[in-house]
Structure 1
Amino acid sequence: MEIIFYVLIVILALVIMSILNEQSIKKRLRITLKNEWGKVPKETYTSEKFEALKKYYLAQKDDILDVDEITWHDLDMDEIYMLMNNTQCGVGEEYLYALLRKPCFSDKELEERNRLMNYFEENEEQRISIQSILHQIGKLSKLSIYDYINRFDNQKAKSNLVHYALNLCLICSALLIFIYPSIGGVSTLAFVAINVFWYYKERAVIEKYLMVFSFIFRLLDGIKKLYQLDIPELQKYTDQLKKDLAVFARIRRGSFLLAPTNSTGSLVDLFFDYIRMLFHVDIIKYNSMLKHFKKNVAILNRIYQNVGYLDSLIAAASFRRSLEYYCEPELTRSGSPKLTVTDLYHPLIDSPVTNSISEKRSVLITGSNASGKSTFIKTLAINAILSQTIYTSTSKNYKASYFLIYSSMALRDSLFNKESYYIVEIKSLKRILERVNKDIPMLCFIDEVLRGTNTLERIAASSRILCSLAKKNTLVFAATHDIELTHILENYFSNYHFQERIVENEILFDYKLYQGKAVSKNAIKLLNMLGYPKEIILSAENAAEEFQTIGEWSKLRV
């Protein structure tokens, strides 16, 4: 009897320590969330994680309206996502990825996103309370919650008879210790070993589903805490979450048997880990509730979307705070395609140079390598996406049409498909031509069109492709080294350029956008700066001057 008393004292002490530890963790979490607001998130990303993040988006994918794979990679949007991903739970980070891939064409929806972001920005205490709840739900680094929720139909529940029988044997063996200590002790040790072995054998088959089930129960617990905050500005979402939660009221009882009630861990959780291992309570619970989850997948998806929506917009609001400045864009559907932007900058560049432009015509941008052409058109494209997803532009003013957004920039040879650079490039351009439509203007960005072929055919073909796009419901921004295009396309394209100066054998770029065609001719001067032989430099200068005079290249003499 005395032993039992001491055991109870130890258990009570562990419970008290666990409660105090959990309270301390919650206090530290609130401080951390406050300090990390508006900062670049510290998150680890692997290829596996990104594959998991994509699952929800791929299930909602639209081949016409969305930011496609080529454009996403051209613009380094994974980097933008990582800069923004201050989400606190797994559904939030999956939803945020999908949100950035899917430009919105609804004024009402963008205004609602803006309303929520402004609320989270202006109400710190409420926001931190929401983030704390979401943080307790946690993340699954290598699994897509959405993907596994929608795989439940493929799972079959097994009978729990074996688990009940093993539990009964273990309990009887433990009781036998009080009658026949030696036999009971040996028997108990034997069934502990058998139960642990059987537990890990069964768990290995369904381990990922158990992790997702554990997550779902933390999610359901989090929902209850969310609507108990009683925030009027979120009532539209919390009322629906409360209604959906009621569907799972019965199976939520005893959910602690399946998993910890939060993702922070505690001594009590450690104790229950051993209980699960010995008595298989989590596997028993899994088998008993799988049918209920399979029946209510649609409701789980709605919960996923509502919680993911709120978490992703909190992250977007934090991203806004991290910016030097931003504006809320003005988007329109009326008239021909147009874009006006003031003091635009790239969110990934430290100390960026800003630029402004206002155009209703397509644009050709010329200039030397590294002068800023590609960075500028990438910055425009990124801002178009951010404006139509999180209603945010990294500029002081952004006015534009609602656009489909496509690019053809950072292309490579495809060794896997045995395709040359030129084949990859013309396929990329063809996909843009095929997606032009009369209902929604297209904003497209092309860097060095048809660079993979010879000069004669490149200029002939690229001028016609660009002209074809400019004639349609499209605003094209094309960067090129081919000065000839500025003349051929001057009836369809406005001309802008970037420039540089060579001072004391050093090349200087100001990264500013200027109107008109590029006029600097520094390529041959750079050869001199780098110490090329004088005869090569002089001959190249004479050849260039001769071509400008007579329009033909002379043969080199033997």
Structure 2
Amino acid sequence: MNWIISILIITILILIYSRQRSKTKREQYLSKLRSGWGKPKETPQYNFDLISSYHLATLNNSAFQNISDTTNQDLDLDDVFTFLDRTSSAIGQQYLYHKLHCIKGQSEVRELDDSIDFFIKNEHERLQVQLLLSSLNHKNVYYYHSLFTSDNTITNNKLKLAYILNTCMLISLGLSFINLLWLLPVILIFCINLVFHYKNKYAQYDQLNATQYFKQIHHTINKLHAFKKLSKTVDFEKTKKATDKLKALYNLTHIFNSDNMFKDEISTLVWLPIEWIKIMLNIELISFQLFLNKAKNSKKELTEVFESIAKIDVSISIASLSINNMLSKPTFSTTKEILIENLAHPLIENCITNNIHLQNESLLLTGSNMAGKTTLIRALTLNAILAQTIGYVFATKYKAPFSQISTSIRITDNLNENTSYYLQEVKELKNFIDQSKKTEPQIFVLDEILKGTNTLERISSAYAILKYINTANAIVIVSTHDLELIDLLQTHNYSCQYLQESIINNELHFDYKLKQGKPESTNAIKILELNEFPKEVTNLAYKTKKMFS
């Protein structure tokens, strides 16, 4: 009797310790969430193949514009994403990536405003929701969307074979009570089922991964429904109906994902005979194929659950972003106008801000080397995308047309297609010309246009192209070192502006502030001097420069 009491006491002590440990971990995580509010994640690891998989799976022609790979690279959107990302779940992370790379429509820009404001004002609910969503921060959660974004393979032949093998197994087992020789076909069928069972597991590895956290996602959405204050801001009617319809799927996952419940030596002893029974009667294979059949007919409900969780997580992420950053809501005009005050680039600490106003004109940006031309046009273009995707900009004021955006900033040779730098840029410029014929408003962004060819033809071609694409519904933002383009384009609705350096104590200083007109000086040869090039080189360079002046 004493040993029973001792076991009970030890069990109770283990339970108390386990509960206290869970409580301590919970408090530590809540403390981490409080201290991390308004800040980027600390040294996060990003698997962009998994993060982008939802976006790539949902690409379609119904969007106003899907951000191209070229623009993604030109603007370092992966780095921008890591700065914006303050999500707690893999689902939220995937949706934020999708939102950043897909311009849907003007009516959808402000869809998260109410929930963003809610999480800014309600710290207690926000912390509880973040804690809940953190349970979905596992790599297998990244596969969940494949249940509704892809056509999952449903093999009815496998089901038929499984049912035939089960029938044979049950008959053989029954006859074995009459004659033990019938155990031989039982063993044979078990071996066939064993191969069948594990072959199916490996063949449908990604699909099984998609279901690994189905139960946890189901629990999460139901717990979100229980937040009374949040329910007044977020409409859960659709997801409540969706979760009711998904109960059958939820129940099936207990069968083929049951091995996840057993993670130590003692529970493995329980798991082993269960696994044998599942193999003997093909229970896992049958239940998983039934799950896929039901999931195929439940894509709408699966999508609603995914998006509901994702939008809440993204709302918290944007709310956190707004705390220590200068954000404002954009307005969209129907005229050819850009008006931006205190424009900043989010990845530049203590960024020097600029004001830009273009009325029925485009921007020709010139200036010295290292003065910040490329950074400025990247900041402008990035904020144009942010305005139309997450609905916030890094500026105090932003007004522009709701536009499709094309960029040509970071061009390289394409060895796979055997195209040179110049030919690669020509192909991109041809795309700009095609885009300029569309009825939708356009923003074209070019950095140092046609720098891969000779001076005379570069200036001549650049002038012709820039004049052509500067249509009534297009705004062109172009930077160049070719000052000759100023005289050619300023009479064709181009605002000529520049960035300039100053030399103090024989050192270059940049104020990174935009100025109207033509640059007063150039600095390429001066930079050679400051880097201690031989006087023979710099003197000859100055002399040659005068010959062309």
Same fold (TM over 0.5): yes
Counterpart of 1:432 in structure 2: which amino acid?
A: F
Cα deviation, residue 18, structure 1: 5.2
Residues 236 and 45 (structure 1), Cα distance of their counterparts in 2 relative to 1, 3 Å cut = closer
Name whichever of 140-149 and 243-252 sits farther off.
140-149
Do residues 342 (structure 1) and 344 (structure 2) align?
Answer: no
The residue aligned with 1:467 is 467
Alignment check: 8 A CA contact 1:117 1:317 kept: yes
- CA deviations 1:242-297 (Å, max 9, x no partner) are 1000112234337455548999x999998887676565476564244332222212
The residue aligned with 2:227 is 229
The residue aligned with 2:177 is none
The residue aligned with 2:422 is 422
Three-state SS of the structure 2 residue aligned to 1:315 is: helix
Identity, in percent, stands at: 27
Alignment check: 8 A CA contact 2:436 2:474 kept: yes
Q: Return the match for 2:314 from 306, 312, 315.
A: 312
Do residues 213 (structure 1) and 211 (structure 2) align?
Answer: yes
Cα deviation, residue 216, structure 1: 2.1
The residue aligned with 2:295 is 293
Residues 401 and 453 (structure 1), Cα distance of their counterparts in 2 relative to 1, 3 Å cut = same
Alignment check: 8 A CA contact 1:18 1:266 kept: no
Alignment check: 8 A CA contact 1:18 1:268 kept: no
Counterpart of 2:540 in structure 1: which amino acid?
A: S
The residue aligned with 1:521 is 522
Three-state SS of the structure 1 residue aligned to 2:422 is: helix
Cα deviation, residue 464, structure 1: 0.9
- Equivalent-residue separation in structure 2 for 1:502 and 1:266 (angstroms): 70
The residue aligned with 1:116 is 115
- Equivalent-residue separation in structure 1 for 2:289 and 2:17 (angstroms): 33
Three-state SS of the structure 1 residue aligned to 2:65 is: coil
- CA deviations 1:316-375 (Å, max 9, x no partner) are 22222242x221122222xx3111111111100112111111112101111122110000
- Equivalent-residue separation in structure 2 for 1:166 and 1:15 (angstroms): 43
- Equivalent-residue separation in structure 1 for 2:297 and 2:69 (angstroms): 34
In the TM superposition, 1:36-435 aligns within 5 A as 36-42=36-42, 43-46=44-47, 48-52=49-53, 54-58=55-59, 60=60, 65-106=65-106, 108-140=107-139, 143-151=142-150, 153-156=152-155, 158-159=158-159, 202-231=200-229, 237-253=235-251, 255-259=253-257, 280=278, 285-323=287-325, 325-333=326-334, 336-360=335-359, 361-435=361-435
Three-state SS of the structure 2 residue aligned to 1:252 is: helix
- CA deviations 1:220-253 (Å, max 9, x no partner) are 1111111111335556531111100011223433
Name whichever of 253-262 and 470-479 sits farther off.
253-262
Residues 364 and 164 (structure 1), Cα distance of their counterparts in 2 relative to 1, 3 Å cut = farther
Residues 49 and 251 (structure 1), Cα distance of their counterparts in 2 relative to 1, 3 Å cut = closer
- Equivalent-residue separation in structure 2 for 1:26 and 1:201 (angstroms): 40
Alignment check: 8 A CA contact 1:221 1:261 kept: no
- Equivalent-residue separation in structure 2 for 1:24 and 1:205 (angstroms): 41
- Equivalent-residue separation in structure 1 for 2:267 and 2:488 (angstroms): 72
- CA deviations 1:459-510 (Å, max 9, x no partner) are 1111111111223311111110000001100112111111112333422222
Alignment check: 8 A CA contact 1:57 1:97 kept: no
- Equivalent-residue separation in structure 2 for 1:423 and 1:101 (angstroms): 27
Cα deviation, residue 529, structure 1: 2.5
Number of positions where the alignment pairs a residue of Structure 1 with one of Structure 2? 523
The residue aligned with 1:185 is none
Alignment check: 8 A CA contact 2:152 2:292 kept: no
The residue aligned with 2:484 is 484
Three-state SS of the structure 2 residue aligned to 1:321 is: coil
Counterpart of 1:140 in structure 2: which amino acid?
A: K
Residues 213 and 546 (structure 1), Cα distance of their counterparts in 2 relative to 1, 3 Å cut = same
Counterpart of 2:537 in structure 1: which amino acid?
A: I
- Equivalent-residue separation in structure 1 for 2:166 and 2:504 (angstroms): 81
Residues 397 and 300 (structure 1), Cα distance of their counterparts in 2 relative to 1, 3 Å cut = same
Cα deviation, residue 431, structure 1: 1.3
Residues 269 and 460 (structure 1), Cα distance of their counterparts in 2 relative to 1, 3 Å cut = farther
Residues 196 and 463 (structure 1), Cα distance of their counterparts in 2 relative to 1, 3 Å cut = same
The residue aligned with 1:507 is 508
Cα deviation, residue 41, structure 1: 1.8
- Equivalent-residue separation in structure 2 for 1:262 and 1:35 (angstroms): 33
Counterpart of 2:409 in structure 1: which amino acid?
A: M
Alignment check: 8 A CA contact 1:55 1:146 kept: no
- Equivalent-residue separation in structure 1 for 2:268 and 2:512 (angstroms): 58
Alignment check: 8 A CA contact 2:66 2:103 kept: yes
Counterpart of 2:82 in structure 1: which amino acid?
A: M
Cα deviation, residue 377, structure 1: 0.5
- Equivalent-residue separation in structure 2 for 1:47 and 1:198 (angstroms): 34
Counterpart of 1:88 in structure 2: which amino acid?
A: S
Three-state SS of the structure 1 residue aligned to 2:386 is: helix
- Equivalent-residue separation in structure 2 for 1:410 and 1:213 (angstroms): 40
In the TM superposition, 1:7-46 aligns within 5 A as 21-42=21-42, 43-46=44-47
Residues 475 and 268 (structure 1), Cα distance of their counterparts in 2 relative to 1, 3 Å cut = farther
Cα deviation, residue 166, structure 1: 9.8
Name whichever of 86-95 and 21-30 sits farther off.
21-30
Counterpart of 1:304 in structure 2: which amino acid?
A: F
Residues 237 and 145 (structure 1), Cα distance of their counterparts in 2 relative to 1, 3 Å cut = same
- Equivalent-residue separation in structure 2 for 1:404 and 1:17 (angstroms): 58
The residue aligned with 2:546 is 545
Counterpart of 2:235 in structure 1: which amino acid?
A: Y
- Equivalent-residue separation in structure 2 for 1:359 and 1:312 (angstroms): 33
Alignment check: 8 A CA contact 1:163 1:284 kept: no
Gaps of 5+ in 1: 170-191, 549-558
- CA deviations 1:355-406 (Å, max 9, x no partner) are 1111121011111221100000000011111111122111112122222222
- Equivalent-residue separation in structure 2 for 1:9 and 1:206 (angstroms): 45
The residue aligned with 2:175 is none
Three-state SS of the structure 2 residue aligned to 1:407 is: strand
Three-state SS of the structure 2 residue aligned to 1:153 is: coil
Alignment check: 8 A CA contact 1:366 1:498 kept: yes
Cα deviation, residue 304, structure 1: 1.9
Name whichever of 341-350 and 130-139 sits farther off.
130-139
- Equivalent-residue separation in structure 2 for 1:143 and 1:241 (angstroms): 20
Three-state SS of the structure 1 residue aligned to 2:118 is: helix
Residues 504 and 296 (structure 1), Cα distance of their counterparts in 2 relative to 1, 3 Å cut = same
Alignment check: 8 A CA contact 2:91 2:141 kept: no
Cα deviation, residue 102, structure 1: 1.9
Q: TM-score, normalised by structure 2?
A: 0.84
- CA deviations 1:137-191 (Å, max 9, x no partner) are 3332695432354345313364566799999x9xxxxxxxxxxxxxxxxxxxxxx
Cα deviation, residue 451, structure 1: 0.9
The residue aligned with 2:494 is 493
Name whichever of 62-71 and 131-140 sits farther off.
62-71
Three-state SS of the structure 1 residue aligned to 2:475 is: strand
Three-state SS of the structure 1 residue aligned to 2:318 is: helix
Alignment check: 8 A CA contact 1:80 1:348 kept: yes
Counterpart of 1:294 in structure 2: which amino acid?
A: K
Name whichever of 272-281 and 384-393 sits farther off.
272-281
Cα deviation, residue 422, structure 1: 0.8
